[in-house]
A = this chain, B = another copy of it.
Amino acid sequence: QSSVTLWGRLNTTVESQKVGNQDRKSVVENNNSRLGLRGTEDLGGGLKASFNLEHGLNSDTGAASGGSQFWNRQANVELTGSFGTVRLGSWFPDSYFSTVDRTSNHNHDTGSSSDALFSSFAFGFRTNKVGYFSPTVNGFSFNASLHAGEGAAGDARAMDLSANYEVGGLHVAAAYSQADTATKRKNYTFEADYSFGPFLVAGYVQRETASRFKSRNIARVSAMYTMGQSEFHFNIGGTKAGADGTFRTAGASQWTLGYNYNLSKRTKVYGYITDIDQKLPNGAGDFNSLAVGVRHNF
């Protein structure tokens, strides 16, 4: 009928995990596997219509990651012209893609080594959105989206803003998210990444505030060195107040040391060691894992 592209990723690891004070265990783990559909229609006169549907699936069990919210990663339709893009529906916060997502490069910020510390409340407001994406002018672009609370209990209006600048191998971004729930949440994120020769270095700092609670700061840096088909990764982050949503009094640190071997552009085998250390008694919230896996894009 038309130019629909079916695409996806299966990303599965076998891990030896230690959770808190429990016994170490063997686990087969999904790393944000997904299946997507997308298409674009040229409407003439520089105008295009496009759609995106993206389903998260558990590559270890076959379960739909979002349960009955099947297209839990994306469901949207958009019109693009010289004015930019207007999009309706649901998608992950652009503030995330502009900043946090660019620092966990060893495994695309998925699975047991994904960033456990950043302020993630904007993901809870990714549905029922209207968004605008500017064209890129002299390396600058910005995105803004509004989430409709629709008068539903526990829901509220939310917004997500990000601005990006790219030149040479440098990318810098500033982002802001806000959710007008009973406990009003805000975050501010600044990110930079720079690629030079075989190196890619990246980092962000973030400040999250929640009304009636104290604020917290989060920071992370990462580095990648590429040699032929091999990639060597290191990634470390910390916060003084635990993970988002909890605002635990104790902070946490997280680091990952990873190696990727690219069998092709679509397929890699990899391994990593990752560790989360929460500053709580008796190992509460602590986690570490030794993982090996396969990631296959299609």
Contacts and interface: CB of A to CB of B under 8 A. Distances in A.
Interface of A: 1-2, 4-8, 10-14, 22-23, 25-28, 33, 35, 37, 39, 41, 43-44, 47, 49-51, 53, 57-64, 66-79, 88-90, 127-130, 148, 150-151, 263-264, 266-267, 269, 293-294, 296-298
Given A49-B296, A62-B75, A63-B68, 7 more contacts: A1-B6, A6-B37, A23-B151, A28-B88, A41-B298, A61-B128, A64-B69
A295 to B, nearest CB: 8
A294 B88 contact: yes
Per DSSP, chain A at the interface is strand
B12 A47 contact: no
Contacts of A33: 75
A18 to B, nearest CB: 11
Contacts of A75: 10, 33, 57-62
A100 B61 CA distance: 23
- Counting every copy of the chain, the complex holds 3
B53 A35 contact: yes
A298 B90 contact: no
Contacts of A57: 53, 70-71, 75
A77 B128 contact: no
Contact of A10 (B23, B47, B77, B127): B77
